[in-house]
Structure 1
Amino acid sequence: MIVSMKKVSLVVLNRYKEKSLNSLRKLGLVHLETLEGSSEELSRVRALYDRLSTAKTSIHDLKLPKNYKSTGKKSAVVENLDRDAILSAYEEKGKISEGLKKALLQAEEILALQEAKKEIGEDIQLARKELDRLAAWGGVNPQDFAYLEEKGIGLTMYEIPSAALKKIPDETSILQVNADKNATRFLLLQFAGEEKAELPPEAFKIALGEESTQSLEKELAEKNKALLLIQNDLYEALQYLPNLSEEMQNLSKTIEFENIYAAMPQDEGLDAVETAVLQSENRALTWITGFIPTEDIEALRNFAQKEKIALIITEPKEEDEVPTKLKNNKVVSLIYPVTDFLGTVPGYREYDISGWFLLFFSIFFGMIFGDGGYGILLVLTGLGLILHSKIKGKKIEPMIILVALLGLSTVVWGTLTCTWFGLEVSQIPAWLVNLSWEPISNANPNEELLKQNIKIFCFALALVQLSIAHLKGVFANIKSLKFLGELGSLILLWGVFYVVLNIVVDKERFAFDAVLFGGYEAMPIVLSAIGIGFAMSFIFSNYEGNILGSIMASVKDIISVLLGVVNVFSDIVSYIRLWAVALAGSAIAATINTMAGPALGSALMFLGILLLIFGHGLNMVLNVLSVLVHGVRLNTLEFTGHLGMSWSGHSYEPFSE
């Protein structure tokens, strides 16, 4: 159920604001309204958090190489890091704890290493690019060229397509360095005072670098060595991650506190003089607003009396963003790992469907997995994890019990349908075949009837779940004529259900001229249900105290109202995905058995067993993905859509240490 909440406001003297906030945080019961504060201290703490976060993120995905061993040598970056100066700079802005000091030094070390790694990497890239550019020329030293220039001998490097070499005039002095089929490299020789030599346009001048190739090679070797030491230091820095995470968590709590502290209002409506007078007399007031479970109100009253805080308790208004706190028994709470993973939280004024979610999710899971053999593996996995937790003296996590429950659901469905590891019915022991339910069992000799029965089961499941949604709506609005709108939607749903059976399952088996109840044919019953249901829904669905207003609201939204009838049809048909997805998984399992079968009776038995393990394991993973896509969808879209839910809530998160 969704726990009832009260809106509370706590008023204190401004001079006791910090003390009161600390006490409120220790109490840990009040979910505070969203506040956005601004102060120098808040900015300072956020900057510290961001610094740690940046450092942590920069090495978070770094993985230690296999057989990594520390060299024991530190890079110049680590050795030259001025730790005293770093701490002094931080301490000038405010107090920091010893644990935070350590984390900040670790963060600065990481960031300095990353910056140095980036700079050295760029230097290495430039050096390699320059060496690659001059690679075909052998060793090149700009100083040699400069020395000859001083002696009146000018040498310039050129490259020309080999086919164009003959275009160079005979009187032009060149020294050929080397050539290949594409290009020829040569030095143009000119003495001081000579006119500039003419070269064909195909000749391309090669610019001298600032350093010799020998110097670049030496620099490259040194840079690579430095980069290796930096990389080793980053590997060593991975041990800082736990401490960084811990201090970030502490800072996040401080940020929360400082944000609230800075955002708390003071004596609104007073002018500057009145505010100054109150502050000078230590009579200025401040307050904070939030929400608390009704069951904890007495604890808050006692707290307020002890701390001398004025307390105002009211019922939440319609426009208030009230947090949602769910409270269920241990069985229903098993679904929480799934809803937490999905991040779905019902609004405070919506329904808590945890129990229904667990029930139908278990059914959907069993149908989609569809194989009793897979179910046994899941049950054994769950029981094994439970036993392991018991032996270790650890708490048994709800997720572990949920795995066992879902496995049990799969075993039940696999038993009813006679589906075991994708085996043919002829390969399954007779006693297992006898446990199956013939209408939906693979042992049913009439394949066409089997398909129809499974479709009917899927659609009947849709009818039950969606009917529950509208019945909840009926009872929720029983004190208003709006309940007639929900009742109309329920009647419409049942009428459309027969139409689905006629169109999708079998026109003859569910013919419109078939006799149903009291000698009446299906057609008038179905049309009456659809017509009456639509009319009731049209008239009362938007009822807010005025029938005419409700009708006009439906008229204004007539297109959506008409499409709603089509949506009822598509929502029911949507449940056929349970059979279709299971059918695909069953086909994959059978294919794996077919592929591995020949190998099991030969020398390749080991490969056949590996294929079975890998293939069925992969199929189970695909089934899990199918459950997340299809099984979850039917609960969070089709079912909740008929409930009118939008999952607009946010979790109850009390201000606490």
Structure 2
Amino acid sequence: MIVPMKKVFLVVQNKDADSAIKNLRRLGLLHLEHEQDPKSREISSIQDELNLVNQAITVLESVAQEPRLGKIKHEKQEGLKIVSQQIIDAHKRYEHLKEYSVTLKSHINQWERWGDFEPNDIQGLKKNNIYLRFYEVLKNQINNFPKGVVIKNIFTQGAAANCLVVSIGCPEIPFKEIEPPKISLNAMKHRLSEDARTIEFIKKNIAEHICYEDDLLILKNSLDKDLEFYQALAGMGRDESLTYLKGYMPFDAEMKLLTAARKEGWGILLKEPSEDDLVPTLMRNPAWAALIRPLLKLLEIIPGYRELDISPLFIIFFSLFFGMLIGDAGYGLIYLFLTMFIHKRIGRRVKDKSAFFLFYVLSSCAIIWGILTGNFFGHEWLAKTGFKPLVPALNDVSFIQAFCFFIGAVHLSIAHSWRAALKAPSLSALADVGWISIIWAAFFLAKTLLLGDGFPFFGKWLIIAGLTLVLFFTSPQRNILKGMGVGLGTIALGLMNNFTDVVSYIRLFAVGLAGVAIADAFNSMAAGINKGTIITLVVSGLIILAGHTLNIILGPISVLIHGVRLNVLEFSGHANVSWSGFEYKPLSEK
């Protein structure tokens, strides 16, 4: 659920502003809304230092796979600033040398076939009016060089001849000259070798600084909090001898803040947020529904304060979609074992472990669906062994397509039912009842048009009843014609969308079927190649490994595309959730 918020206005004397912010930070309740753009010398200084530390941490994270050299070292803040600058400077030199090495390799490749020569000697000959120039021309154009020049074809490449042209004086030559290198080929190779050694030295030097990473992370958190403090202080409004601020806090923290206000002598006003207020969103859900939180963070979406928190339904349907889209018990076991392995390796370092438990649930759903449909690293090979799926109907194309439409109709009906319940006892709730009727009419119409089933006799009554309710109750008002106009506009925009939204759930069947088809195709290919010899056995094994690895990688991607879409777009559109919110982030010490 989305926690109701209270809007808070707090007034203190100017001299108490610092202590008020410190006390509010200690309470950890108030999400501040700045009265003015927070600017100060302290803020600029902290931002510069924070930028320095963040860059250093980013560099260290890029070499995190390197062995940790040296013992963990602890430095004071000033020392860590120097360390950060050293890390950044070393990394800049490292990147510069790597970039220059690429250029150098390109020049070496370009001039390798010309042979080694000293460019300075060419300049010396110029002083004696002897010119050495380099050209790349077509073989049949060599005779087009002017008379009186010496042409030496150094090497040919396809239809092109790479020539050295020697002349007394500098006659005009009708071809584009190749600019000679600044240094000799031998010098370029020597410089490349030296740079490679320097790059390795810098890389090792940066790796030696990993021992400061923990202290830098601690410093970053401290600077973040300092920045938050000074921004809160600078963002307060001021009026002569008084300083004031406003913000939002959960409704159930009211007494805690009032108690602190009485103790500190603050002036305080609590009220309900208005429709125009930009209120942060705080979601509280049971542990099982909160499992979807890592996915929402990954997508960087959060419902608006006045929208629905669909987390419980999101986790239920997303788990079902994951099972259907992956559709293979073998793949589900791979995901499960990978999650267990990663959980064991890094679980202690991760504060929020909900992502691990989310994948445990999703992997289990894939395993269950695979058992129900008889898919274990493919379907055909398992069927040949005599294994029968627990629910054979799930392998029937017509049945599973109809089942997808049914899931869509149920999913979207829940969205409108939820909206109707929130609107009740307003008559506008009947408009959502009308849309539910239209959704089920769309379900039967999809079965008729795409699967060849007969359209039920009551289908037209579902459409008529649905259109009537939407027409009259989308915007019920005394002026019936005006209300009907609003309803008619809604019908024009939404009628076809309801049909296409129901049909869009067929992606669960199509994508799931594609995964099974890929698995069966690679299994068949491997079986056809295997002739019983060691070589064919190895090749078959590699084909099977490549095919199933492809499916295992593409599976989660398809879930992110299709499983997320059905929740975030189709369902959310019908539930009127636009994901326009921003997270509740109270001023705190943590």
Match of 1:237?
A: 206
- Superposed counterparts of 1:88-99, under 5 Å: 99=76
Residue in structure 2 matching 1:157, options 126, 131, 139:
131
Residue in structure 1 matching 2:486, options 546, 553, 556:
553
- Runs of 5+ unmatched residues, structure 2: 136-141, 155-160
TM-score by length of 1: 0.74
Shift of 1:478: 0.7
Distance in 2 (alpha carbons) for counterparts of 1:460 and 1:209: 72
Task: State the number of aligned residues.
Answer: 566
- Runs of 5+ unmatched residues, structure 1: 71-96, 169-173, 189-196, 268-274, 276-283, 443-449, 513-521
Task: Mark the structure with the bigger radius of gyration.
Answer: 1
Q: Describe the SS at the equivalent of 1:323.
A: coil
Shift of 1:564: 0.8
Q: Tell whether the 8 Å contact from 1:466 to 1:639 is kept in structure 2 after alignment.
A: yes
Residue in structure 2 matching 1:531, options 464, 472, 477:
464
Distance in 1 (alpha carbons) for counterparts of 2:14 and 2:565: 50
Shift of 1:537: 1.1
The 1:16–1:138 alpha-carbon spacing in structure 2 relative to 1, beyond 3 Å, is same
Distance in 2 (alpha carbons) for counterparts of 1:205 and 1:567: 62
Q: Tell whether the 8 Å contact from 1:31 to 1:291 is kept in structure 2 after alignment.
A: yes
The 1:236–1:485 alpha-carbon spacing in structure 2 relative to 1, beyond 3 Å, is same
The 1:487–1:122 alpha-carbon spacing in structure 2 relative to 1, beyond 3 Å, is closer
Distance in 2 (alpha carbons) for counterparts of 1:232 and 1:36: 46
Shift of 1:419: 2.9
The 1:163–1:463 alpha-carbon spacing in structure 2 relative to 1, beyond 3 Å, is closer
Match of 2:504?
A: 574
Shift of 1:223: 8.9
Match of 2:45?
A: 44
Q: Give deviations 1:6-56, integer Å, cap 9, x for gaps.
A: 111221111111121112112111111256311122122212223334455
Match of 1:565?
A: 495
Q: Tell whether the 8 Å contact from 1:498 to 1:526 is kept in structure 2 after alignment.
A: yes
The 1:219–1:582 alpha-carbon spacing in structure 2 relative to 1, beyond 3 Å, is closer
Match of 1:291?
A: 248
Q: Tell whether the 8 Å contact from 2:2 to 2:283 is kept in structure 1 after alignment.
A: yes
Match of 1:630?
A: 562
Supply the AA of the counterpart residue of 2:44.
S
Q: Give deviations 1:56-113, integer Å, cap 9, x for gaps.
A: 5567546878x9999xxxxxxxxxxxxxxxxxxxxxxxxxx96332232123224444
Q: Tell whether the 8 Å contact from 1:325 to 1:652 is kept in structure 2 after alignment.
A: yes
Supply the AA of the counterpart residue of 2:390.
S
Q: Tell whether the 8 Å contact from 1:159 to 1:205 is kept in structure 2 after alignment.
A: no
Q: Describe the SS at the equivalent of 2:511.
A: helix
Match of 2:173?
A: 202
Distance in 2 (alpha carbons) for counterparts of 1:385 and 1:426: 30
Match of 2:298?
A: 341
Q: Tell whether the 8 Å contact from 2:526 to 2:544 is kept in structure 1 after alignment.
A: yes
Match of 2:230?
A: 258
Q: Tell whether the 8 Å contact from 1:600 to 1:606 is kept in structure 2 after alignment.
A: no
Distance in 1 (alpha carbons) for counterparts of 2:365 and 2:123: 84
Q: Tell whether the 8 Å contact from 2:14 to 2:243 is kept in structure 1 after alignment.
A: yes
Match of 2:399?
A: 453
Supply the AA of the counterpart residue of 2:406.
A
Shift of 1:608: 3.2
Residue in structure 1 matching 2:78, options 101, 104, 108:
101
Supply the AA of the counterpart residue of 1:475.
A
Match of 1:409?
A: 365
CA RMSD of aligned residues (A): 4.3
Q: Tell whether the 8 Å contact from 2:438 to 2:462 is kept in structure 1 after alignment.
A: yes
The 1:258–1:164 alpha-carbon spacing in structure 2 relative to 1, beyond 3 Å, is same
Q: Tell whether the 8 Å contact from 1:32 to 1:655 is kept in structure 2 after alignment.
A: yes
Percent identical among aligned pairs is 30
Shift of 1:412: 3.1
- Superposed counterparts of 1:179-190, under 5 Å: 183=163, 185-186=165-166, 188=168
The 1:98–1:504 alpha-carbon spacing in structure 2 relative to 1, beyond 3 Å, is same
Question: 333-342 vs 290-299, which deviates more?
Answer: 333-342
The 1:42–1:526 alpha-carbon spacing in structure 2 relative to 1, beyond 3 Å, is same
Shift of 1:317: 0.8
Q: Tell whether the 8 Å contact from 1:600 to 1:609 is kept in structure 2 after alignment.
A: no
Supply the AA of the counterpart residue of 1:399.
A
Q: Give deviations 1:360-407, integer Å, cap 9, x for gaps.
A: 111111111222333344455566777x59998998933333323223
Q: Describe the SS at the equivalent of 1:266.
A: strand
Q: Tell whether the 8 Å contact from 1:423 to 1:593 is kept in structure 2 after alignment.
A: no
